[in-house]
Amino acid sequence: MQSTVNAEDTGQQVELQGIEKVAKAFAVTGPWLILALAVALPALLLPPFLTTTNITNVMLQAAIYVPLVVGMTYVITGGGIDLSVGSQVALCGVIMASMLQADVLPLPVIIILTLALGVLLGAINGIVISVLKIPDFIVTLAFMEIYRGLALVHSAGHIWYGFSDAFRFIGSGRLFGVVPMSLIIVAVVTVIAAWAYSRTYFGRYSIAIGGNREAAQMAGIKVWRLKVEQYGFLGAMCGLSAILLVGRLDSAQATMATGYEIHVIAATIIGGTALFGGRGNVYGSLIGALILALIANTMILMRLDFFWRLVATGVIILIAVSLNQLRERYEL
């Protein structure tokens, strides 16, 4: 009788170990598996998917998200979150568009001012969080409304369009007539950000405060300053995303980039960044952004109603959180 019970227990343990191995493997390979499916299924079912034009469109769409997921990787790694990125993109975009059409400043100056505005908006988030000791979620939720409201006030319903060829080249032009300029920009940004994440104090300290804030403070890390720097960096990425988005669409309005925050957070978590901080992966976040662009493109090719994209976004968020839970459980 005893041997029968032991045999049953042993069988259950083996079964549980097998489930754990599968779950652990999926936690590691999940993003790559999702990416493979996002490419393979439409390639088999939708002939237009593999055309050069469509693949280029997917890459250009992903390029708009990439700066945001790169910046969000630092913020979430540090134990924060930013719900205002879409509103920051919109505010930077409409102010930049008004400067472009006023034509009173050189293009390089306008680009620098747009990036600086992004840094300012992000830094304000970080300062308010640090000074008032209010959770990041609440502060950025408030600024999501504030920045969107300011964008609407500034635009007053106006839509800007018809920018110079030099500006449009940034978002939709091709270097030597072959490589999209926006892809070159985001590739450079991603490589530099990935290097800084693992090689500089900015990345290492972000991991430290996200893993154990109190220990980081005791070690002499100025958490408040790093928080401001993280949000300021993400703000700069919002400015860059605004430049790429407006340059690609050749238009700007206050309602653009609505809902970006959900997509960006989902892409960042899918890519391997821990939801509650302490671990991140810049290149993984890049994969997450590409997955989102592929799914959106597939739904367009299938001529599905836009509202189904909301359903797909919800499913993606569930997958992202599930992957995060698996990684946390097995300490991956």
Secondary structure letter of residue 226 according to DSSP = H
Could you tell me the residue range of the domain that residue 103 belongs to? Answer: 32-329
State pLDDT tens for residues 168-220: 999 888 888 788 999 999 999 999 999 999 899 899 999 899 888 888 888 88
Q: Is residue 15 part of a domain?
A: no
Q: Is residue 243 part of a domain?
A: yes
Look at residue 259 in the predicted model and tell me its pLDDT: 86
Q: Is residue 199 part of a domain?
A: yes
CATH of the domain at 208: 1.10.3470
In tens digits, the chain (332 residues) has pLDDT values of: 555 545 555 555 555 555 566 555 555 566 788 888 889 989 998 888 989 889 888 888 889 999 999 999 999 999 999 999 999 999 999 999 999 999 889 999 999 999 999 999 999 999 999 999 899 999 999 999 999 999 999 999 899 999 999 999 998 888 887 889 999 999 999 999 999 998 998 999 998 998 888 888 888 888 889 999 999 999 999 999 999 999 999 999 999 999 899 889 988 988 888 888 888 889 888 998 998 889 888 888 888 887 787 787 778 778 777 777 776 666 55
Number of domains observed in the structure of the chain: 1
Residue 296 near residue 61, CB atoms below 8 Å: yes
Q: Is residue 23 part of a domain?
A: no
**Token pair 């893993």 in the structure block, residue:** 211
Q: Burial level of 268, CB count in 10 A (0-12/13-18/19+)? A: buried
Six-digit token string for 68:
């945001």
Q: Is residue 170 part of a domain?
A: yes
CA dist 118 → 81, 86, 155 (Å)? 16, 12, 17
Residue 70 near residue 230, CB atoms below 8 Å: no
Residues 6+ apart with CB under 8 A from 89: 68, 238, 241, 242, 245, 256, 257, 260
Burial 225-239 (b: 16+ CB within 10 A, else e): ebbbbbbbbbbbbbb
Look at residue 221 in the predicted model and tell me its pLDDT: 86
Six-digit token string for 41:
């299924």
- Residues facing 174 on adjacent strands: 180
pTM score above 0.85: yes
The C-alpha atoms of residue 277 and residue 77 are separated, in whole angstroms, by 4
Burial 192-208 (b: 16+ CB within 10 A, else e): ebbebbeeeebbebbbb
Q: Is residue 10 part of a domain?
A: no
Residue 185 near residue 274, CB atoms below 8 Å: no
Q: Is residue 187 part of a domain?
A: yes
Q: Is residue 135 part of a domain?
A: yes
Six-digit token string for 266:
């989902």
- Residues facing 179 on adjacent strands: 175
